[in-house]
Amino acid sequence: MKMNRRESIAVIAAASAVVAASPLDGLVGYASPASAPRVKVGTKIELDRTGRLSFAYPTAAQPAEAVQLADGRIVAYSRICTHMGCPVDYRPKEQSFVCPCHQSRFSARAKGRVLDGPAPRRLPEIALEVDARGDIYAVGISAPPFGAAETVRAVEAIYREVAP
Ligand code: FES
């Protein structure tokens, strides 16, 4: 039987709900627009082995990372810094993402909240779902990743600062 996307999500949510007390609890039910892309992130087995999974979302040009926190939760964020667009790195011991350009830090435990540095807003959080086989999918994002419009504004601000 062929299912449409909405039916597939309902089946996955129902199957996931059966896995009570799983570390993936809490990922199901995250609100996401129906138009959001559905992208395979990896598998639960891979995540158990490495503690993190790199992928791209919502487009193939926008890096993102899923990580397993110390409390077992699995979360995912855009890796594009909200200050000026540098790629952030995950620090497992701190459970935070750090930007190498101007040292902004973002909490992986608290929905990408800014902990330090010049970043003006949190890292966009990516909604995940897991199917009955343990395949993990990105299915939505809390805000658009840093993009072209913000780059233009940042460059304009720099030019204003250096203009005579
Ligand atoms: S680009 Fe990340 S802190 Fe500036």
Domain positions in the chain are: 5-162
CA-closest candidate to residue 75, choices 30, 119, 13: 30
Report the distance separating Cα 114 and Cα 121, nearest Å. Answer: 7
Angle 83-60-102 (CA atoms, 0-180°, nearest 5)? Answer: 20
Spacing, Cα 87 to ligand 1 middle (Å): 8
CA of 159 to the centre of ligand 1 (A): 17
From 2.102.10.10, 1.10.4080.10, 2.60.40.10, 3.40.1530.20, which CATH number describes the 5-162 domain? 2.102.10.10
With bands split at pLDDT 50, 70 and 90, how would you rate the model's confidence at 125?
very high
Mutate which of 102, 105, 115, 121 for ligand 1 pocket (most atoms within 8 A of beta carbon)? 102
pTM: 0.74
Task: Give the number of the atom of ligand 1 that is nearest the alpha carbon of residue 85.
Answer: 1
* Structure token pair of residue 86: 């540098």
Closest atom of ligand 1 to 117 CA is 3
Question: In angstroms, rounded to a whole number, what is the distance separating the alpha carbons of residues 158 and 24?
Answer: 43
Pocket of ligand 1 (CB under 6 A): 81, 83-84, 86, 99, 101-102, 104, 117-119
Task: Give the tens place of pLDDT for each residue, 46-99.
Answer: 999 999 999 999 888 899 999 999 999 999 999 999 999 999 999 999 999 999
Give the model's pLDDT for residue 36: 83
